[in-house]
Amino acid sequence: MALALLTVPSEEALGSLPGIRRGMLAAGNPLSAVFWTSAEAILHKIDDGDATVGDVRTWLEATGTEPNGIIGLHVWDETSERSQLAAEMHTRLVSHLEERLGAGEIDPDLLVVADPAACQAHVELQERWMTSALPDGRVPMDVLLDEKDEELFADWDAADAEALAAIRALLGRVGERPLPAGELRRAAARLRQDIARRGWPGRLLIECSGLRPKRLPADDTELWLRLAAGVASPEGPDLGRPGGDDELESELAAICSIDHFDWLAVITALAEGGPGTAASAADLAAYVRDYDPEEPDNADDLDDSLDEEDDADEDLFLSEDDEFDDLTLEGMFLPVVSLWQVLGAIDDDRLTPLGWWGLPEAMLRVWASSANAPGQPFEESP
């Protein structure tokens, strides 16, 4: 009944309420006075333009048979966007709630007035079902979260592939970037010393790269690229562990918030600008703000996976005044700039020859990792 009332214009639904109520009474299923009062209230709110999606969702859930939008770690997609598995589990849960309602375990009249005990019990009832095995052995929460993980990994791999194609096309346009052997050798020596000491920056570099301090690559090029790639894509085994260093966790969280679109914007500006290009955190934020990706010369367009990240970027970094929030993105790049300084990729907020050669190579390594089979050598750029 609640869903049906929401499928027509609110004014029309309000006008039909008396007739529907009489029909339900004649059919021997009058529903409660609380339901009709709440239905009239939400429809008036919708008609006045004052209702939010949350208001409507809360009213639907108060019927007792509409699952909560968020249960544990699972978030239900809109009906049209649900996978076959999600649609099946949603239908099964609705049936379970209908059975519990019929058995008198759910009181919608208490839910609609937001009775704390009734609302908590209703949530717990759904959580128990979601975490209990079905007759076929499947646990709804587990299979739904596994499916979401698979979708996320697939989307991320697709974004990696698109970004890899874009940066290869970019470097094809930029041309040769010579490796400054002397700078690399000196930087590698400093890095080995930094990592041997306790605290910053060695610990953060190790956390990001996943390397072990006592088992560093002997080759300077390999060491530098592993550390630089870790800055762009932290992969340490202790990320997110409880009881960790708050400052370290904050820096890692900032780095992990930078996505493909942002990295492409920054690397494009630095690769095209060459040594001496401004590379402070504020400069990097400005590069993202002004980035307008062109079609790669040697690849397909940056399609849905990257476009969606672009849209997400715009939503994330818009302030209340609908202006790009430079300060937010600048804060995310602050630990990156600090580590690039340690790596010797920038000096005095300017890109060095080592950074011009190495930062694009590190990004190629990051984005090619999903394309190369485990154990295969990294495919260097042309």
Among the residue ranges 5-19, 72-86, 164-178, 242-256, the one predicted with the least confidence is 242-256
* 295 has pLDDT over 70: no
Position 222 scores a pLDDT of 96
Maximum alpha-carbon separation in the chain: 91
* Strand locations in 1-60 (E): none
Phi, psi torsion values for 252, nearest 5 degrees: -65, -40
Instruction: At 172, list the tokens.
Output: 């094809």
Q: What is the mean pLDDT of residues 341-360?
A: 97
Position 242 scores a pLDDT of 44
Tens-place pLDDT, residues 138-178: 999 999 999 988 887 787 778 888 888 999 999 999 999 99
Asked if 344 contacts 183 with a C-beta cutoff of 8 angstroms, the reply is: yes
**What is the number of other CB atoms lying within 10 angstroms of the CB of residue 30?**
14
Catalogue the long-range contacts made by 57-63 (C-beta closer than 8 Å, 24 or more residues apart).
59/2, 59/112, 60/2, 60/3, 60/6, 61/111, 62/38, 62/108, 62/111, 62/112, 62/114, 63/2, 63/35, 63/108, 63/111
Instruction: At 278, list the tokens.
Output: 């401004």
Preceding peptide of 201 cis, ω within 30°: yes
Tens-place pLDDT, residues 242-291: 445 677 888 888 898 898 999 999 999 999 999 999 999 999 999 999 98
* Spatial CB neighbours of 234, under 8 Å, sequence gap ≥ 6: 207, 208, 252, 255, 256
Position 244 scores a pLDDT of 54
Instruction: At 359, list the tokens.
Output: 């930062």
Position 285 scores a pLDDT of 94
Asked if 80 contacts 74 with a C-beta cutoff of 8 angstroms, the reply is: no
Q: Whole-angstrom Cα distance, residue 294 to residue 287?
A: 14
* 380 has pLDDT over 50: no
Position 250 scores a pLDDT of 85
Q: How are beta strands 74-75 and 346-347 bridged, if at all?
A: unpaired
Query: 200 versus 293: which is more confidently predicted?
Result: 200
Q: Whole-angstrom Cα distance, residue 278 to residue 269?
A: 9
Among the residue ranges 2-6, 314-318, 328-332, the one predicted with the least confidence is 314-318
Asked if 112 contacts 33 with a C-beta cutoff of 8 angstroms, the reply is: no
The angle formed by the CA atoms of residues 95, 101 and 107, to the nearest 5 degrees, is: 140
pLDDT interval class at 236 (50, 70, 90): low
* Spatial CB neighbours of 309, under 8 Å, sequence gap ≥ 6: 159, 259, 260, 261
Position 237 scores a pLDDT of 47
Q: pLDDT exceeding 70 applies to what percent of the chain?
A: 85
Instruction: At 183, list the tokens.
Output: 């700078």
Phi, psi torsion values for 207, nearest 5 degrees: -60, -40
* 324 has pLDDT over 70: no
Q: For residue 71, what are the CA distances in angstroms to 90, 117, 193, 232? A: 11, 17, 49, 33
Q: How are beta strands 74-75 and 70-71 bridged, if at all?
A: antiparallel
* Spatial CB neighbours of 139, under 8 Å, sequence gap ≥ 6: 130, 131, 132, 133
Q: Does the pTM exceed 0.85?
A: no
Query: 292 versus 352: which is more confidently predicted?
Result: 352
Asked if 349 contacts 360 with a C-beta cutoff of 8 angstroms, the reply is: no
Q: What is the mean pLDDT of residues 86-105?
A: 95
Torsion sign across C-alpha atoms 11, 17, 19, 23: positive
DSSP assignment string, 49-83: T---HHHHHHHHHTTSSSPPSEETTEEPPPGGG--
Select, from the ranges 132-141, 201-210, 289-298, the one with the highest average predicted confidence (pLDDT): 132-141
**What is the number of other CB atoms lying within 10 angstroms of the CB of residue 381?**
17
Query: 226 versus 322: which is more confidently predicted?
Result: 226
